[in-house]
Amino acid sequence: MNPVPLVSVITPFFNAERYLTEAIESVLAQTRDDWELLLVDDGSSDRGTEIAKSYAARYPDCIRFLEHDQHRNLGRSTSRNLGIQQSRGEYLAFLDADDIFLPRKLEIQIQCLEAQPDAGMVYGRTEYWYSWTGKPGDRWRDRRARLRLRPN
């Protein structure tokens, strides 16, 4: 890990113990290692707090645990803003606690941003992945959203 990360990944969470480990592991699996992960606890009452603190303790050079004063629940936007305020990276990436990054996400998006220095942001199609449940009936629901903006 670099002492100053290129990308700050901000993950707000509230009672997300069911998904949080997989989200964190997807950041750890990135092909780039110049990132920091800010886990922002929005007042969780489940094991999410414990999970986030555990990862921050195991990976203190790249994962930080943040929370609001008195462990209050202030909402997703306020939690994202706390992460932004504490971020050190040149770029921001947002990862919801119930989502994952594919392994090359940061690599590809950084390449795009560096190739187009005037770009303010880069995004791609969201994949709606329901078949993770293992239920046969959920597989037909998997899909990729269409882009709302024309590429390039």
* Domain edges within the chain: 7-103
pLDDT tens per residue across span 37-60: 999 999 999 999 999 999 999 999
Contact 37, 62 (CB under 8 A): yes
Distance of CA 128 to the CA centre of its chain: 16
Where does 7-103 sit in CATH, by number?
3.90.550.10
Answer yes or no: is pLDDT of 134 > 60. yes
Distance of CA 135 to the CA centre of its chain: 26
Q: Is the pTM of this model over 0.85?
A: yes
Query: d(Cα 98, Cα 49) in Å, to the nearest integer?
Result: 15
Q: What is the mean pLDDT of the chain?
A: 93
pLDDT, position 127:
81
Contact 34, 4 (CB under 8 A): no
Report which DSSP code applies to 152: -
pLDDT, position 150:
73
